[in-house]
Amino acid sequence: AGGGGASIASRYHHALELSTSRNFSTNTVINCMCHTIENIYHWSSTAVARASDDFYPSDKASHYAHITACAYNGLFLGPLVIPDYDMFQSNHAASKAHAIARAVSGGPVYVSDKPGKHDFEILRKLVLANGRILRSKQPAKPTLDCLFSDVTSDGSSALKLWTRNAFSGLVAVFNVQGSAWNRDARKFFVHDSAPKPVTTVVGSADVPNFS
């Protein structure tokens, strides 16, 4: 075992996973705030990890940046774990975009609605009658044509996510222009309060080896 943070992370993760395996029959753990290498290298029996910062319902600048972060972080995390897009609220101004992102994410779908504050039209589209979700067979990834685009700030690119289910390929398309994370100020900010519509092409070629 190494020293410092790596050694501590190893001990923490071993204890966490041992405890959950003993006390929870499904060993259900979502690793959060966990993107440092010393954490990633010590996931031995847990299979889900948060792909983003928190969902901030009152921060208008954060929502499309949140979806974007999940999409691109999932490209790295997807081969290792199931990326988790975090909770969202169904009765929210950005709920449709959040719901679509989670529907194709390949990860868990859960909400943090206040009691009595639900949009059942959205929720019923995410689950079957028995409450189960139609989870894709693999984590969503950005399509090749937007992989190296600045989809939040270049004013022209759409964010496209592809994945597969048991029968077909799926592509979700978002206009996430207008807000982003400011590294200097360390906060989300709106750089364009009225972003223009963007155009893109969607087809079977967006899903590798599908067309």
Give the integer Cα–Cα distance in Å for 60 and 196. Answer: 18
Give the integer Cα–Cα distance in Å for 68 and 102. Answer: 12
Give the integer Cα–Cα distance in Å for 73 and 208. Answer: 19
User: What was the pLDDT predicted at 170?
Assistant: 95
User: What was the pLDDT predicted at 2?
Assistant: 52
Q: What is the pTM of this model?
A: 0.91
Give the integer Cα–Cα distance in Å for 132 and 142. Answer: 25
User: What was the pLDDT predicted at 5?
Assistant: 80
Q: How many CB atoms lie within 10 A of CB 185?
A: 8
User: What was the pLDDT predicted at 4?
Assistant: 76
User: What was the pLDDT predicted at 28?
Assistant: 80
Q: Please list the pLDDT of the chain residue by residue as tens digits (211 residues).
A: 455 788 888 999 999 999 999 998 877 889 998 888 888 989 888 899 999 999 999 999 999 999 999 999 999 999 999 999 999 999 999 999 999 999 999 999 999 999 999 999 999 999 998 988 889 999 999 999 999 999 999 999 999 999 999 889 999 999 999 999 999 999 999 999 999 999 999 999 999 988 6
Give the integer Cα–Cα distance in Å for 161 and 170. Answer: 8
User: What was the pLDDT predicted at 33?
Assistant: 87
